[in-house]
Amino acid sequence: MSNPTELVQIIDLRPLSGVLGAELFGLDLSQALDDTTLEQVRSAFLEHHVLAFRDQDLSPEQQVAFGQNFGELDTHPFVEMNPEHPKVLDIVTEPDDRTNFGGGWHTDVTFLDEPDLGSILYAVELPAVGGDTLFANQHAAYEALSPIMQEMLEGLVAVHSAGPQYAEGGQSTKSKAMKTKNADMAGRQVEHPLVRTHPETGRKSLYVNRAFTIGIVGMHRTESKALLEFLFDHAVHERFTCRVRWLPGTLTMWDNRSVQHYALHDYAGQSRRMRRITVKGDRPR
């Protein structure tokens, strides 16, 4: 991997905050990237966790081709994909929607045995103002804990489920524009370590989120609730975050193994249309 200092010289990279996130300029993702440039992008991804590529003009096919540089693409088990592009998820908020898809802090699809490596989201239609996405660095959140708390958490296993979001009446089923499916299967539970080790960098991070984590193995319900509430709040403290302001032509990708994110819905009465693809991941360890 290239040294991060080299990235500034080869790619126009501008950090978004002191803890994560960077904007990249000067790349045309509609064209195939050469091996050197692609390696630089991968290195920036591991270093900054969130990359916002500005000034892009991408068709669904071009977005899919870019995403395949990072692995096999996934589909969502509980949301209808684009019928013409089966690897593409259209994320739409209509003017009269009271809630939005992705609103609230979460890590994508942690209810899967092998949650996605990351997501790649492209702006198709944006409100005049608003609709930004917040991100929180879970490495930084873990490292900010006391050694005693770190030691205790590393032995724990968390329970995740899609039920709170995708079962009948779940939060993510309330959007008028997004069509969900398989509600009867959403209650399935999986277990993942509460502290995850990144498979490429070896760094440890918190791996719980308010949307999908429902308990901790071996703890009484009241104990689990108290600890999780602390971790949910701690994990997204302002000092661990950055904010991506969406502009026309922005494509943002994030490392689902090391961040949480939150799509703000502060544009009532306006539309927001995004196009998302996801890259398959591995089982957290």
The set of catalytic residues is 106, 108, 261, 276
Q: How many CB atoms lie within 10 A of CB 137?
A: 29
Q: Cβ(108)–Cβ(257) under 8 Å?
A: no
Q: How many CB atoms lie within 10 A of CB 178?
A: 21
- Among 72, 65, 56, 58, CA closest to 38: 65
Q: Cβ(61)–Cβ(54) under 8 Å?
A: no
Measured CA distances, 62 to 65, 67, 82, 251, 275 (Å): 5, 9, 15, 12, 12
Classify residue 203 by its DSSP letter: -
Q: Determine the 3-state secondary structure of 267 from DSSP.
A: coil
**Sequence-separated (6 or more) residues with CB below 8 Å from residue 14:** 22, 23, 24, 25
Following DSSP, what letter does each residue of 40-69 receive, concatenated? HHHHHHHHHSEEEE-S----HHHHHHHHGG
- Residue 161 pairs in a beta bridge with 189
Instruction: Tell me the torsion sign for CA atoms 91, 92, 93, 97.
Output: negative
Q: Which two tokens stand for residue 186?
A: 């959403």
